[in-house]
Structure 1
Amino acid sequence: MTVTELKKRNSSGQSSDNGEVNRVELKRTITLLNGVGIIVGSIIGSGIFVSPKGVLDGSGSVGTAILVWLACGLLSLIGALCYAELGTTITRSGGDYAYILEAFGPCLAFLQLWVNLIIIRPTAQAIVALTFAYYALQPFFPSCDPPEAASRLLAALCISILTFVNIYSVKAATKIQDIFTVAKLVALLLIIATGAVMIGMGEHEYLVNAFEPMDGAKPGVGSVSLAFYSGLFAYAGWNFLNFVTEELIDPYRNLPRAIYISIPIVTFVYVFANVAYFTLVSPREMMLSNAVAVTFAEKVYGVMAWIIPVFVSLSTFGGVNGLLFTSGRLFFVGARQGHLPQLMSMINTKHFTPMPAMLFTGGLSMLMLISNDMYALINYMSFVQWLSVGMSVVGLLYLRWKEPNRDRPIKFNIAIPVAFLIAVIFLLIVPLFAAPKDTGMGLLLVLTGLPVYLIGVCWKSKPRAFTEFVDSLTRTSQKVCMVMSEEHGKN
C-alpha cells in the first residue's frame, strides 16, 4: 500500500493496521458521537446552572428572557451552519484561525491566534477549572465558601489530570467528554422533569404573567441586546468541533451532522431548564442568586440538594476537557504554519497526540490560576471573540466570490451567512457603547501581537546564536517528549 492510498483510507475513517506504513500524524478517531459530545460538552458549562440572571436582567421579564434563550439557540444554529460550510471547504483544523488565514493571510490570522494564546484560552480554562473546584468542594463547606487555596489547588489538579489524559490518548479524552456530557444532560433533564412536575402541581405563578415587567425593569432595545450578549455567551462553544476537523472521521458528513444534532439539544435544555427554574424561583430570587440551580434544588430537593453542586462540578470538568482538547489543536496548527515555535507542531510518536502544544496550554492555564485579574481579562475578550467569528463569516463570503468554482460539499443559501453576519455586526456595535473601556482594552491587547508578528514571524535573519540555541532546545525537548514533525513520521 502506498502512502497516498493509506491517507485515502485514513480520511474515510479506516485505520491502517497492516504495519506497512505508520505515519506520525493526527489520526481520524473522532466519531459522530464524539463530535456531538465535543459540541454539547463545550457549550454546556456552568452558565446554565449558575447565572441565567444575566439574560433575565436585560430582558426585564420572564417571558422575554425565555424568548431570548430560544433566539440565541436559533442564532447559534445559523452560525454553526456557516461553520459547517467553512469546515467542509477548508478541512484543516484550527477553526477561526484556519479560516482567517485562508481568506485574509497570515497577519490577521496571527493576531487571532495571539489573543487566544495569551488570554482567551488559558483564562477560560482556568476560570472553568476554578468553577469546577468551587462546586466540587461546596458539599464539604455547606455554610461558607470553600477556602481559596483549596479551590486553586483542586483546579490545578483538574487541569493537570486532563492535560495528561489528552496527551495519553485522543480516544480517552473523547471518552471523558462523552461521559461528562451525558452527566450534565442528566442533571438538566432532572431539573426539567422536576419543573414539569411542579407545573402539574400548579406551581406556575411566575409563568402565568410571564411578560409582565419586573419591578424596576426598564426594558428597551439596549437592555435586550445585552440580554442577547449574555445568552450567546452561554452558547459559546458551538464552533469548537471545527478546531479538530483533521481528526474527525468523514468530516464531510459528520461535521454537519454533529451540528444538526447538538445545537437543538442544547437549545431545548437551555429553554426548558429556565422554564423549570421559574416554577419555583421568583425573578427577584433569581436576580439575587449566585447559583440559580442550587437555589432551585434547595427549594425542591431538600436534603438531596447537594446533587446539583456535584452535577455542576461534573459539567465544568467536562468543559475544561473540551477547552484543553481544542486549544491544543489550535496551537498545533498555528505552530505548523510557522506562527509559533516549531516544537509545538510536533506529535508524540507513540500516542499520536500534539504533546508539546497540550503541555503548553495546560501549563499556561495553571499559571493563570495565580492571577487575580483573570475575570477582567476574559471580559476584554468577548468583543474579540465575536470579531473572530465575524471575520470567519466574511471570509466565507469572500471565498465564495473569489473562488466560485471551489469544491464545497456543503453550500447554503447566501441569505444564511449574510443574516448571521448582520447579527454579528450588531453584537460588535453593542459593546462599543455598553462597555467602551473593555472593548478598547480588548483591541489594544490584539494590537500587542503586531510587534510579536514582525519580530517572531516576519524577521527571518535572526542572530545565529539565537537560532542555534532554539534548535538545540527543540532537539532536547524532542528527545524528552519523544515527538517529531508529522511530515517526517514514518515507520
Structure 2
Amino acid sequence: MTEAKKEYRELPTGETPAAKDDSAVVGLKPKMTLLNGITVIVGSIIGSGIFISPTGVLLNTGSVGMALIVWIASGIFSMIGAYCYAELGCMIQKTGADYAYIMVGFGPFMAFMRLWIECMIVRPCSQTIVALTFSVYIMKPFFPNCDPPDESARLLAAVCILVLTFVNCWNVKWATRVQDIFTGAKLFALAVIIITGFVQLCLGHTEYFSFENTESDVTKIALSFYSGLFAYNGWNYLNFVIEELKDPVQNLPKAIYISISLVTVVYVLANVAFYTTLSPAEVLGSEAVAVTFANRLYGYMAWIMPFFVACSTFGAVNGVLLTSSRLFYAGALEGQMPEILTMIQVKRMTPTPAVLFMAFLSLAYLGSSNILALISYVGFATWLSIGLAVVCVPLLRYTHPDLERPIKVNLVWPILYIIATIFITIVPMIAAPIETGMGVGMIATGVPVYFLFIYVRKPEPIRKMLRSLDGFMQKLMMVCKPEKPASL
C-alpha cells in the first residue's frame, strides 16, 4: 500500500520523460484531441438512455413538470461530479480514473472492490445491454408490429461487439473516429426531435406541461434519479483514457464542461419535445419513447428513429469498450488483475489483451436473459463508488497536500456531491431492500477473491504456471509491457 502511494507521489504531474522518442516507446500514446475528448464523453453518455429513460423518470415523479426538474438536476449533479473529477484527473494523470483515485486515497483493498464490481459486472453488463438495444432497433424496421427474434438480436449484438473489438484493437484513431461519426449521428437524431418539438410548441401543444399528480413520496423521487442519472452515465469516462489525451490539464476540464453542458441542454429539450406530443400515459406505456414519438409524427419516415437509436447505441458500445479496457489495463498495472492485461500491442500501440478480455465478458453476458435485473441490483453501487472517488478530493487535500493540483475545486462542491450521493443511495435502499441486498451480495464476492488471489502470496508452482500462460498469450498477440511507467 505504501509503495503504491509512493509511486503516485513521485511521478511528475505535468511532464513526460524525454529520454526516449515517444514514437519508439511501447505504451499508450496521447493521440486524442479536445474534439475527440468531447465526443468520447458525449458518445458515452448518449446511448439508449435518453430514448428510453423518460418513462422511468415520469413513473417515479408523477408529473411532467417534476420530471423535467429531475432531468435538469441530474445534469447539474453530473456536472458537479465531473468538476470534482477534473481536479482528480489533472492531479493523478493515470489510466483508470476513480480506480486510481481510490487507490491513492483508500489503498489497494477499496480500489480492488471498485475494480471488481465495475469490471466484472457493471461494465460488461452495460455494454451487453446497449449492444442488445442496438440489435433490436436496427432490426425494428423489419419487424414493425412485433419484437425481433431473440436469437437474432443476440447474434447481431455479438457481431456489434466483435466488430468494435477489432476496431479498438487495430487503432485508437479508428476507435475515436467511430466515436466522432456516431456521436454526430445521435446528435442529429436528437436535433430532429428537438426541432420537431419547437414546431409543436409553436402550434400551441403545451397541454401536458404541469405539476399535476406530482409524487409526494421522497423515496419515489430518489428512485427517479436512477433513471435520470442512468441516461447521464458516462460523464467520467474520459478520465479512464487520460494518458491518451493531448494536454490533459487544458483539455480534460474543457471537454467535461462542454460535453456535459451540451448533453444537459439536449436532454431537457428532447424531453420537452416528447411531451409536446405524447401524454404522460403514452410515455408510461412506451418502451422506447423516441420511437413512439416518431410513429405519431413522421408517418412513413418513422423508420429513421429506430435507425438513429441504433447508431446512438453503436457509438455507446464503442465508448464503453474504449474506456473499460483501460480500467482493466490500470488494474493489471497495480497487480490486481492478470499481468497480460498490462501489455500493449507492439505495432498498434493499443491495449489489445484488455480490449479482448472486456469483449469476452460482454459476450458471456449475452447468454443471460436477466441482464437488466442484474444491473438494477448493482446500480446503487455504481453511484456509491463514484461518491467514494469524490471523497478523495477533500481526503487527499489533507493526506497529500504536496500533490500538484492544476485545478483546485472549492470544497463546497465535493461536499454537496457526497451528500447528494448518500441521498440517492441510502433512500432507494429503504425503498428496495431486496434488490439492494442482492447488490451487496454481488459486491461481497470480491472480498474472498482479493484475499485468495491478491493479498495472499501465491505458491511458486501457481506463479510459474501463470508466467507460462502470460508468455504464451504475449507471443500470440505480439504484446509487451509498456516501456515507461504511467505518469500521473
TM value normalised by structure 1: 0.93
CA distance in 1, matches of 2:398, 2:236: 23
Show the 5 A alignment for 1:403-418.
Answer: 403-418=400-415
Matched with 1:271 is 268
Instruction: Give the total of aligned pairs.
Output: 474
Separation in structure 2 between the aligned mates of residue 427 and residue 306 of structure 1, nearest angstrom = 37
Q: What does 1:216-255 align with in structure 2 at a 5 Å threshold?
A: 218-255=215-252
Q: Is the 8 A contact 1:97 1:109 kept in 2?
A: yes
Which consecutive unaligned segments of at least 5 residues does structure 2 have? 1-10
Unaligned runs of 5+ in 1: 1-6
Deviations 1:436-464 (A, max 9, x none): 1111111221121111111211222x333
Range with greater deviation from structure 2 (242-251 or 368-377) = 368-377
Selected match of 1:194 from 181, 189, 196: 196
Q: How far apart are the structure 2 equivalents of 1:267 and 1:288?
A: 25
In structure 2, C-alpha distance between the alignment counterparts of 1:475 and 1:488, rounded to whole Å: 20
Equivalent pair of 1:252/1:409 in contact (CA under 8 Å): yes
Q: Does 1:484 align with 2:486?
A: no
Counterpart of 1:81 (choices 80, 83, 98) is: 83
- Tell me if 1:398 matches 2:395: yes
Within-5 A mapping of 1:338-349: 338-349=335-346
Could you tell me which residue of structure 1 aligns to residue 69 of structure 2? 67
Cα distance in 2 for partners of 1:182, 1:290 equals: 24
Could you tell me which residue of structure 1 aligns to residue 211 of structure 2? 211
Point out the more displaced range, 466-475 or 265-274.
466-475
Q: Over aligned residue pairs, what C-alpha RMSD do you find?
A: 1.9
Which of 163, 166, 176 lines up with 1:164 in the alignment? 166
Is contact 1:51-1:290 (8 Å) kept?
Answer: no
Quote the residue 1:120 is aligned against.
122
CA distance in 1, matches of 2:482, 2:59: 50
Cα gap change, 1:11 to 1:305, in 2 (>3 Å): farther
Distance 1:252 1:296, change over 3 A: same
> Which residue in the other structure is 1:308 paired with?
305
What is the letter of the counterpart of residue 410 of structure 2?
A: N
Aligned partner letter, 1:483: V
Moved more, 218-227 or 412-421: 218-227
Distance apart, 1:20 and its partner CA: 8.8
User: What is aligned with 2:471?
Assistant: 475
Equivalent residues of 2:53, 2:227 under 8 A apart = no
- Contact kept? 1:184, 1:314, Cα under 8 Å: yes
CA distance in structure 1 between the aligned counterparts of 2:340 and 2:439, rounded to whole angstroms: 29
Q: Distance in 2 between matches of 1:402 and 1:335?
A: 25
Distance 1:224 1:11, change over 3 A: same
Runs of 4+ in structure 1 displaced over 6 angstroms? 18-21
Instruction: Determine what percentage of the aligned residue pairs are the same residue.
Output: 53
Q: Following the alignment from structure 2 to structure 1, what is the Cα–Cα distance between the partners of residues 312 and 243?
A: 26
Pair 186,454 (structure 1): closer, same or farther in 2 beyond 3 Å:
same
1:136 aligns with 2:138: yes
Q: Whole-Å Cα distance in 1 between the matches of residues 99 and 193 of structure 2? A: 37
Match of 1:355 in 2: 352
Partners of 1:223 and 1:471 lie apart in 2 by: 52
Letter in 2 for 1:411: K
Corresponding residue number in structure 2 for 1:388? 385
Where do 1:413-424 residues align within 5 Å? 413-424=410-421
2:49 to 35, 47, 50: 47
Amino acid at match of 1:199: L
SS in structure 1 at match of 2:480: strand
Q: 1:438 to 1:368 in 2, by over 3 A?
A: same
Name the structure 2 match of 1:100: 102
Residue 337 of structure 2 aligns to a residue whose secondary structure is coil
Match of 2:5 in 1: none
Report how far residue 229 of structure 1 moved.
2.3
